[in-house]
Amino acid sequence: MPQITEDLTRPITDAMMVYPGDPEVRLEPALTLQDDGVAVARLSCGVQTGTHLDAPCHTVPGGRTVSEVGLEELCGPTLVLHLDAGRDCLADVDDVRGALARAGCGDAGDRLPPRVLLSFGWDTRFGTGEALRHPAVSGQAAELLWDTGMRVLGTDALSPDPTGVQGADGFPVHDLVLGRDGLIVENLTRLRSLRPGVHRVGMFPLPLHGVDGAPVRAVVFGAD
């Protein structure tokens, strides 16, 4: 039976950081052992809280919802790329090609696993003002990954697009990936603990019906 070697999930906590404008997180007692004989907590939050999945309908009218996403799309061989980019930086095609080469996937004609996780090391800044100034990836770099096989794009930042500086270009990476019926996973953690290269990863969203996103439990599996 495969063992879990790393948990890539950010715990959901009361009043935790969310993407600007998203619903606040409230996690509090609803029933208590002292008063009610049982302990039951109440959770109120947006579906895109903590480590979470963006389904296509998040940005695409008529796109697939979470309940239409198969778990097989989110489980299996997954490429982890380390990108060295500072705050507010946009990783471009050359940056991604360099990361692919460091992961042993830089040869022309190489096909990538369908799942690619971008590690900027930005999970350590979650909950601070620096988290909003995270590195992102250019639309052209996302196009390169898509053209070589990526269908699920993950990041350890708030978004693969810049946060808070959207102009006429909107959300180019979301538009590209979700617009082509792919998937995005945001706010992963501990990607820097993994070597660049292919790992066995499972990302399991809550089975919320008919909505645009869901919190995810993401783990790395070791050998059988």
- In this prediction, residues 45-71 reach a mean pLDDT of 98
Q: What is the pLDDT, as a whole number, of residue 167?
A: 47
Long-range CB contact pairs, 15-19, < 8 A, 24+: 16/49, 16/50, 16/127, 17/126, 17/127, 17/131, 18/45, 18/46, 18/48, 18/49, 19/48, 19/158, 19/159, 19/163
CB atoms within 10 A of CB 180: 11
Residue 172 resides in a domain: yes
Distance of alpha carbon 180 from alpha carbon 175, whole angstroms: 8
Q: What is the pLDDT of residues 135-190, one digit of tens each?
A: 999 999 999 999 999 999 999 999 999 997 654 567 999 999 999 999 999 999 99
Q: What is the pLDDT, as a whole number, of residue 165?
A: 64
- 109 lies in which domain range? 47-221
What percent of the chain has pLDDT above 90? 90
Residue 63 has pLDDT above 80, yes or no: yes
* Tally of structural domains, the chain: 1
Residue 190 resides in a domain: yes
- In this prediction, residues 218-223 reach a mean pLDDT of 90
Residue 13 resides in a domain: no
Residue 223 has pLDDT above 80, yes or no: no
Residue 2 resides in a domain: no
Residue 21 resides in a domain: no
Residue 154 resides in a domain: yes
CATH number for 213: 3.50.30.50
Residue 110 has pLDDT above 90, yes or no: no
